[in-house]
Structure 1
Amino acid sequence: MKVFKFGGASVKDAAAFRNLAHIVQHYGGSNQLLIVVSAMGKTTNALEQVFDLAYHQQDHSPALEQSRQYHLQIVQALFPDAASPIYEELEHLFSKLDNTLRHLNKAAGYDQLYDQTVSYGELLASTILHHYLKSQNLNNTWVDSRKYIQTDTTWREAKIDWDWTERLVKRDLPAILNEQLIVTQGFLGGTNNGLTTTLGREGSDFSGAIFAYCLDATEMVIWKDVEGLLNADPKYFTDTIRFKEISYQETVEMAYYGASVIHPKTIKPLANKLIPLYVKSFLNPAGEGTKICDCRYEKLAPAYIVKQNQCLISFSVKDFTFISEKNLGTIFNALSELRLKINLMQNSAISFSVCTDWHEQRIQTLRKTLQDEFVIHYNSGLTLYTIKNYDTESMNNVLAGKSVLLEQRTRTTFQFASK
Structure 2
Amino acid sequence: MTSLTVAKFGGTSVADYAAMLRCAQIIKNNPDNKLVVVSASAGVTNYLVRLSQANVPESEQREIIESIANIQFNITQYLTEQTIIDREISVLLDELAAYASANALNHSARISDAILSFGEQMSSRIFAMVLRSIGVPGQYFDVRQVMKTNDLYGQAVVNIEKLQQNATTILAPQLSTNVLVTQGFIGQNDAEYTTTLGRGGSDYSAALLAEALNADNLAIWTDVVGIFTTDPRITDQARSIKEISFGEAAEMATFGAKILHPATLIPAMRKNIPVFVGSSKEPEKGGTRIQQSVASKPTYRSIALRREQTLVTVKSPAMLHASGFLAKVFTVLAKHELSVDLITTSEISVAMTFDNPTGSTQALLNSTVVEELEQLCEVTVEHGLSLVAVVGNNIHKTNGVGTDIFDALSGVNVRMICQGASEHNLCFLVDEQQANLAVEQLHTSLFNVA
Q: Is the 8 A contact 2:415 2:430 kept in 1?
A: yes
Amino acid at match of 2:360: Q
Counterpart in the other structure of 2:435: none
CA deviations 1:94-139 (Å, max 9, x no partner) are 22112112112888754x4432221211112111112222222211
Judge which range, 165-174 or 307-316, deviates more: 307-316
Counterpart in the other structure of 1:158: 156
Number of matched residues?
411
Q: Is the 8 A contact 2:52 2:103 kept in 1?
A: no
Q: Is the 8 A contact 1:367 1:376 kept in 2?
A: no
Q: Is the 8 A contact 2:388 2:429 kept in 1?
A: yes
TM-score w.r.t. the length of structure 2 is 0.82
Q: Does 1:413 align with 2:412?
A: no
Secondary structure of the residue that 1:216 maps to in structure 2?
coil
Identity of matched residues, %? 27
- Residue 81 of structure 1: how far off its partner (Å): 6.1
Distance in 2, matches of 1:228 and 1:172, equals: 33
Q: Does 1:383 align with 2:386?
A: yes
Secondary structure of the residue that 1:265 maps to in structure 2?
helix
Distance in 1, matches of 2:27 and 2:143, equals: 20
Judge which range, 200-209 or 347-356, deviates more: 347-356
Alignment of 1:327-342 (within 5 A): 327-336=325-334, 338-342=336-340
Counterpart in the other structure of 1:65: 66
Q: Does 1:23 align with 2:21?
A: no
Secondary structure of the residue that 2:263 maps to in structure 1?
coil
Distance in 1, matches of 2:297 and 2:81, equals: 57
Equivalent in 225, 229, 235 of residue 237 of structure 1: 235
- Residue 316 of structure 1: how far off its partner (Å): 4.3
- Residue 3 of structure 1: how far off its partner (Å): 0.5
Secondary structure of the residue that 2:258 maps to in structure 1?
coil
Which sections of structure 1, spanning at least 5 residues, go unmatched?
none
Equivalent in 258, 267, 274 of residue 269 of structure 1: 267
Distance in 1, matches of 2:16 and 2:279, equals: 17
Counterpart in the other structure of 1:225: 223
Secondary structure of the residue that 2:66 maps to in structure 1?
helix
Q: Is the 8 A contact 1:345 1:355 kept in 2?
A: no
Distance in 2, matches of 1:255 and 1:271, equals: 14
Q: Does 1:314 align with 2:317?
A: no
Distance in 1, matches of 2:345 and 2:220, equals: 39
Distance in 2, matches of 1:337 and 1:47, equals: 32
Distance in 2, matches of 1:355 and 1:396, equals: 27
Alignment of 1:256-405 (within 5 A): 256-296=254-294, 297-316=296-315, 321-322=318-319, 326-336=324-334, 338-348=336-346, 349-370=348-369, 371-374=371-374, 375-389=378-392, 391=401, 392-397=403-408, 399-405=409-415
Q: Does 1:123 align with 2:124?
A: no
RMSD: 2.7
Judge which range, 243-252 or 388-397, deviates more: 388-397
Distance in 1, matches of 2:301 and 2:343, equals: 22
Secondary structure of the residue that 2:364 maps to in structure 1?
helix
Amino acid at match of 1:165: L
Distance in 2, matches of 1:170 and 1:134, equals: 25
Q: Is the 8 A contact 1:47 1:121 kept in 2?
A: yes
- Residue 333 of structure 1: how far off its partner (Å): 4.5
Distance in 2, matches of 1:380 and 1:58, equals: 39
Q: Is the 8 A contact 2:151 2:189 kept in 1?
A: yes
Judge which range, 51-60 or 349-358, deviates more: 51-60
Secondary structure of the residue that 1:261 maps to in structure 2?
coil
Distance in 2, matches of 1:327 and 1:354, equals: 18
Secondary structure of the residue that 2:262 maps to in structure 1?
coil
Distance in 1, matches of 2:428 and 2:64, equals: 39
Q: Is the 8 A contact 1:256 1:264 kept in 2?
A: yes
Assess, with a 3 A threshold, how the Cα gap between structure 1 residues 325 and 37 changes in structure 2: closer, same or farther.
farther
Assess, with a 3 A threshold, how the Cα gap between structure 1 residues 405 and 24 changes in structure 2: closer, same or farther.
same
Assess, with a 3 A threshold, how the Cα gap between structure 1 residues 401 and 125 changes in structure 2: closer, same or farther.
farther
Secondary structure of the residue that 2:341 maps to in structure 1?
strand
Secondary structure of the residue that 2:284 maps to in structure 1?
coil
Assess, with a 3 A threshold, how the Cα gap between structure 1 residues 142 and 81 changes in structure 2: closer, same or farther.
closer
Amino acid at match of 2:118: Y
Amino acid at match of 2:63: P
Counterpart in the other structure of 2:101: 102
Counterpart in the other structure of 2:17: 14
Secondary structure of the residue that 1:72 maps to in structure 2?
helix
Counterpart in the other structure of 1:79: 79
Assess, with a 3 A threshold, how the Cα gap between structure 1 residues 117 and 138 changes in structure 2: closer, same or farther.
same
Amino acid at match of 1:79: L
Q: Is the 8 A contact 2:309 2:353 kept in 1?
A: no
Secondary structure of the residue that 2:285 maps to in structure 1?
coil
Secondary structure of the residue that 1:302 maps to in structure 2?
strand
Counterpart in the other structure of 2:39: 38
Secondary structure of the residue that 2:289 maps to in structure 1?
strand
Q: Is the 8 A contact 1:338 1:366 kept in 2?
A: no
- Residue 50 of structure 1: how far off its partner (Å): 2.5
Distance in 2, matches of 1:286 and 1:252, equals: 26
Which sections of structure 2, spanning at least 5 residues, go unmatched?
396-400, 432-450
Counterpart in the other structure of 2:202: 204
Secondary structure of the residue that 2:103 maps to in structure 1?
coil
Amino acid at match of 1:414: L
Q: Is the 8 A contact 1:344 1:356 kept in 2?
A: no
- Residue 236 of structure 1: how far off its partner (Å): 1.6
Amino acid at match of 1:163: E
Assess, with a 3 A threshold, how the Cα gap between structure 1 residues 80 and 216 changes in structure 2: closer, same or farther.
closer
- Residue 341 of structure 1: how far off its partner (Å): 3.7
Q: Is the 8 A contact 1:227 1:287 kept in 2?
A: yes
Q: Is the 8 A contact 1:119 1:198 kept in 2?
A: yes
